[in-house]
Amino acid sequence: MRPRAFTLIELLVVIAIIAILAAILFPVFARAKEAAKKSKCLSNLDQLGLAFDMYLNDADDHCPDRRDLKVSLGYKPWTTWPTSDPRAGWAAVILQPYIKNQGVWSCDSVEGSSMGSVIQVLQDTPVGPTRYWFWRFDRPDDPEPLDDFWGKTPDQCVTDLDTENNPMLGQPTGISDVELAVDPYFPATNPLVPPPLKGISVHFGGRNRVFMDSHVKWMRDIRLKA
């Protein structure tokens, strides 16, 4: 007796079920994959924070003052946003002795996104590309601006930020409130952000950050697309 074959209707029903399951599960898998990348990014920033802390220990608790290196690597204050240059190429060079894997200078999500190669994000250095931002080391002015950290102790950084009273930064009570590095983002509310980049971030409407005391944290930002 010949075995009974599937009918066309049965095959179409099976295909429809598979398509429905795929539509349900693919976004879940994509979210899980991105969550893993976000965790890896936090790990990268954690290593950068620890390396910076080791540098401070070796430098008598003073932040680096390598404005010369920042300029020589190609300082580019944008006419769009940001109006300074927070790229971290200078930090990758001076922190090289404290970091074994230079790949930590680039978040996988940023590298694979539309912003991964834009000039405001990517900076090539002798030790490899960087895609993180070091706010407060974003201008080479001499003397350094009140809210920049070149050559200052962490305590002086806190005092100067408190004195400046920038509403975007708040008034920190200690180094645990002071952001050191962050993955790049382009707030939709800023009129200087180029239209293709408005609201762009890579971690579900927020950004990963490392603070001056080396702790890391993801922050939701309503100015960014979810």
DSSP the chain: -PPPPPPHHHHHHHHHHHHHHHHHHHHHHHHHHHHHHHHHHHHHHHHHHHHHHHHHHHTTT-----HHHHHHTT----SSSSSS--B-HHHHHHTGGG-S-GGGGS-HHHHTSTTTTSTTT-B--TT--B--B-TTS----SSPPTT--TT--HHHHHHHHHHHT-TTT---SSGGG-EEEE---B-TT-TTS-GGGTTB-SSSSEEEEEETTS-EEEEE-TTS--
Question: Residue 27: its pLDDT value, please?
Answer: 66
pLDDT digits (tens, 9 = 90+) for 193-224: 999 999 998 887 899 999 999 999 998 999 99
Question: Residue 166: its pLDDT value, please?
Answer: 77
pLDDT at 23 over 90: no
For residues 27-51, give the mean pLDDT: 83
For residues 38-63, give the mean pLDDT: 96
Question: Residue 204: its pLDDT value, please?
Answer: 77
pLDDT digits (tens, 9 = 90+) for 178-192: 999 999 999 999 999
pLDDT at 17 over 60: yes
For residues 52-63, give the mean pLDDT: 97
For residues 81-91, give the mean pLDDT: 95
pLDDT at 25 over 80: no
For residues 104-117, give the mean pLDDT: 89
pLDDT at 72 over 60: yes
Question: Residue 182: its pLDDT value, please?
Answer: 95
pLDDT at 87 over 90: yes
For residues 166-170, give the mean pLDDT: 71
Question: Residue 5: its pLDDT value, please?
Answer: 65
Question: Residue 99: its pLDDT value, please?
Answer: 95
